[in-house]
Amino acid sequence: MTISSSLNASVAGLNANATRLAAISDNIANSSTFGYRRVETSFDSMILSDGGPTYAAGGVRATTERLIDQGGALVTTANPTDLSVRGRGFIPVALSSDLEVANGQPPLLLTTTGSFRTDSEGRLVTASGLTLMGWPANPDGSIPAFPRDTAEGLVPVRVNVNQLTGEPTTAINLGVNLPATETDAGATGMPRDLSIEYFDNLGRSETVLVSFAPVVPATGSSNSWTMTLHDSAQNDAVIGQYTLEFDDSRAAGGTLSNVTTVSGGPYDPATGRLIVSVEGGPMEINIGRPGSSDGLTQLSDSFAPLSISKDGSPVGNMVSVEVDANGFVHATFDTGATRTIFQVPLVDLPNPNGLVALDRQTYRPSIESGSFFLWDAGDGPTGDMVAFSRQESATDVARELTDMIQTQRAYSSNARVVQTVNEMLQETTNMIR
Task: Give a yes or no: residue 426 inside a domain.
Answer: yes
Percent of the chain that is helix, strand, coil (3-state, to 5): 20, 40, 40
Predicted local distance difference test score (pLDDT) of residue 100: 84
Among 256, 284, 311, the domain-final residue is: 311
Among 279, 311, 343, the domain-final residue is: 311
Q: Using one digit for the tens of pLDDT, what is the confidence trace for 251-267?
A: 899 999 999 999 999 99
Task: Give a yes or no: residue 231 inside a domain.
Answer: yes
Predicted local distance difference test score (pLDDT) of residue 79: 95
Specify whether 224 is located in the same domain as 183: yes
Those residues with Cβ within 8 angstroms of residue 245's Cβ, 6 or more apart along the chain or in another chain? 223, 224, 256, 257, 258, 259, 260
Q: Using one digit for the tens of pLDDT, what is the confidence trace for 76-113?
A: 999 999 999 999 999 999 999 888 876 778 899 999 99
pLDDT band at 7 (very low <50, low <70, confident <90, very high): confident
Specify whether 91 is located in the same domain as 132: yes
Specify whether 180 is located in the same domain as 303: yes
Task: Give a yes or no: residue 149 inside a domain.
Answer: yes
Predicted local distance difference test score (pLDDT) of residue 155: 94
Q: Using one digit for the tens of pLDDT, what is the confidence trace for 348-376?
A: 999 999 999 999 999 999 999 999 999 99
**Does position 238 have pLDDT exceeding 80, yes or no?**
yes
**Does position 150 have pLDDT exceeding 70, yes or no?**
yes
Higher pLDDT, 382 or 56: 382
Predicted local distance difference test score (pLDDT) of residue 4: 74
Predicted local distance difference test score (pLDDT) of residue 146: 94
What DSSP string describes 214-242? E---SSSB--EEEEEEEEGGGTTEEEEEE
Nearest-angstrom CA–CA distance, 314 and 334: 10
Specify whether 241 is located in the same domain as 224: yes
Specify whether 174 is located in the same domain as 285: yes
Domain count, the chain: 3
Specify whether 142 is located in the same domain as 235: no
CATH number for the domain spanning 277: value is 2.60.98.20
Task: Give a yes or no: residue 255 inside a domain.
Answer: yes
Lowest-confidence segment of 26-40, 53-67, 348-362, 384-398 by average pLDDT:
53-67
Specify whether 259 is located in the same domain as 198: yes
**Does position 338 have pLDDT exceeding 90, yes or no?**
no
Nearest-angstrom CA–CA distance, 169 and 359: 49
Mean pLDDT computed over every residue of the chain: 91
Task: Give a yes or no: residue 316 inside a domain.
Answer: no
Q: What residue numbers bound the domain in which 264 lies?
A: 169-311
Specify whether 259 is located in the same domain as 292: yes
Specify whether 334 is located in the same domain as 373: yes
Contact 82/390 with Cβ under 8 angstroms?
A: yes
Predicted local distance difference test score (pLDDT) of residue 1: 54
Specify whether 341 is located in the same domain as 409: no
**Mean pLDDT of the 369-384 span:** 95
Specify whether 179 is located in the same domain as 264: yes
Contact 99/105 with Cβ under 8 angstroms?
A: no
Task: Give a yes or no: residue 80 inside a domain.
Answer: yes
**Does position 339 have pLDDT exceeding 90, yes or no?**
no
∠ Cα 425 428 432 (to 5°): 140
Task: Give a yes or no: residue 318 inside a domain.
Answer: no
Task: Give a yes or no: residue 317 inside a domain.
Answer: no
Nearest-angstrom CA–CA distance, 202 and 207: 14
Residue 81: closest CA among 361, 322, 320: 322
Specify whether 159 is located in the same domain as 188: no
**Mean pLDDT of the 25-48 span:** 93
Predicted local distance difference test score (pLDDT) of residue 163: 65
How far, CA to CA in Å, does 356 sit from each of 45, 86, 112, 389?
A: 26, 21, 14, 25
**Does position 48 have pLDDT exceeding 80, yes or no?**
no
CA 357, 360, 362, 364 dihedral sign is: negative
